[in-house]
């Protein structure tokens, strides 16, 4: 079955162009644009891990190693398309135009973090596994009924393919011929469970056969393969030719979240070897060097610019008005139950006591 779903690659690990059909499109400016986004989201990701370790945000889900999958797919979208992320796809939402401050607010436990910029159709991150897939189908079908050319892309990991929502989403999209792209980032593990313990199928892409839709596998560390193949799937959906399931084969270097210890279940030497051989940013650097386009001064300036941009967003997040803790009680039910009212009264009494103690 793997032979029926070969991994599509445009640029190999050494930065050589494998697909000559797109070589003319890989201009210096085009490649630098992708490199900019890759560096930007990796810098953000590393700063968030640091913020969590300092206690400045809550538990965080890193994505380092998966940058090409998120950047390449998000850059293929049109402005009016829908993006349905999981909790690990803030690299894609950043690339699509989400507010960095609001993404940080989300990781600081604030509801405001779920609000996208005006005009951006970005769904709140899906925390329960795979629940965002049926939502994406619904949004895509609504666009179809309205007669627009807008499509939806929905992100999920390999573990999500073991959930009922995955199968329900694909089945409904198939029946409705909905303009949606299912974008799976297969990093080989659902937290601590390796792929071979999740499923007997050799690929995730082949699951598309059950729903009579197109399935394809791509090198998820090749940002250009991700971009061009996602673009094909999006265009197909826009033209009424149905949904696509994309399996983007990638590798995440770090933990599932900052509350996790990957050394307990995953060979860290494998991560180090992949960082040296298949890293998505290193691959684009090699392409730039092969073409004679690599400019160390430009790279240094870029790194400085994105660092300052992210630092400014962190400052905005930390200066954001403090949450009103009473909201916890006021927005559970339409009318508070007696238990909620008692808890609220006890909380307010405790709060008044703290204020009195602090004023002494």
Cα separation of 114 and 124, whole Å? 5
Catalytic annotation, pick one of 33, 145, 265, 352: 265
β-pair partners for 154: 84, 182
Catalytic annotation, pick one of 256, 266, 283, 286: 256
- Those residues whose C-beta lies under 8 Å from the C-beta of residue 234, and which sit 6 or more positions away, are 76, 77, 78, 81, 151, 153, 181
Cα separation of 216 and 205, whole Å? 5
Pinpoint the alpha helices (H) of the chain: 28-53, 67-75, 90-96, 100-107, 132-146, 164-176, 223-238, 268-277, 280-291, 296-318, 327-330, 338-359
Known catalytic residue at 88:
no
C-alpha 125: how far from chain center? 9
Known catalytic residue at 101:
no
CA distances from 223 to 75, 197, 234, 246, 310 (A): 10, 28, 16, 14, 22
**Beta strands 82-84 and 152-157: pairing type?**
parallel
- Those residues whose C-beta lies under 8 Å from the C-beta of residue 55, and which sit 6 or more positions away, are none
Catalytic annotation, pick one of 37, 252, 266, 286: 252
DSSP SS3 for 197: helix
Q: What are phi and psi of 245, to 5 degrees?
A: -105, 115
CA distances from 357 to 272, 326, 352 (A): 52, 20, 9
Known catalytic residue at 252:
yes
Q: Which two tokens stand for residue 223?
A: 């940002």
* Residues with a known catalytic role: 252, 256, 265
């Amino acid at each position: 079955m793997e032979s029926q779903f070969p991994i599509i690659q445009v640029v190999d690990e050494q930065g050589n162009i494998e697909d000559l059909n797109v070589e003319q499109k890989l201009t210096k400016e085009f490649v630098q644009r992708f490199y900019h986004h890759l560096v930007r989201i990796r810098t953000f990701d590393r700063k968030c891990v640091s913020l969590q370790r300092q206690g400045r945000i809550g538990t965080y889900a890193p994505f380092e190693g998966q940058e090409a999958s998120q950047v390449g797919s998000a850059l293929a979208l049109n402005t009016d398309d829908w993006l349905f992320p999981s909790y690990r796809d803030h690299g894609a939402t950043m690339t699509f135009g989400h507010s960095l401050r609001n993404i940080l607010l989300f990781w600081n436990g604030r509801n405001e973090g779920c609000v996208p910029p005006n005009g951006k159709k970005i769904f709140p991150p899906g925390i329960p596994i795979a629940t965002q897939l049926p939502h994406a189908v619904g949004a895509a079908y609504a666009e179809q009924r309205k007669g627009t050319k807008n499509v939806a892309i929905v992100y999920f990991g390999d573990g999500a393919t073991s959930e009922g929502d995955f199968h329900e989403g694909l089945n409904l999209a198939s029946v409705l011929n909905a303009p949606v792209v299912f974008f799976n980032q297969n990093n080989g593990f659902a937290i601590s469970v390796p792929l071979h313990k999740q499923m007997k199928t050799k690929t995730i892409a082949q699951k598309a056969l059950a729903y009579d839709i197109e399935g394809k596998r791509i090198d998820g560390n090749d940002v250009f393969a991700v971009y061009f193949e996602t673009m094909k799937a999006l265009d197909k959906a826009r033209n009424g030719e149905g949904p696509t399931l994309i399996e983007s084969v990638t590798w995440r270097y770090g933990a599932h979240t900052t509350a996790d210890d990957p050394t307990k279940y995953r060979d860290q030497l494998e991560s180090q070897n992949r960082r040296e051989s298949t890293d998505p940013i290193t691959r684009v650097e090699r392409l730039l060097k092969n073409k004679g386009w690599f400019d160390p001064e430009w790279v240094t300036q870029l790194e400085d610019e994105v660092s300052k941009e992210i630092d400014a967003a962190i400052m905005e997040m930390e200066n954001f008005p403090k949450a009103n803790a009473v909201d916890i009680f006021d927005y559970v039910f339409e009318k508070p139950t007696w238990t909620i009212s008692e808890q609220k009264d006890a909380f307010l009494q405790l709060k008044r006591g703290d204020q009195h103690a602090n004023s002494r």
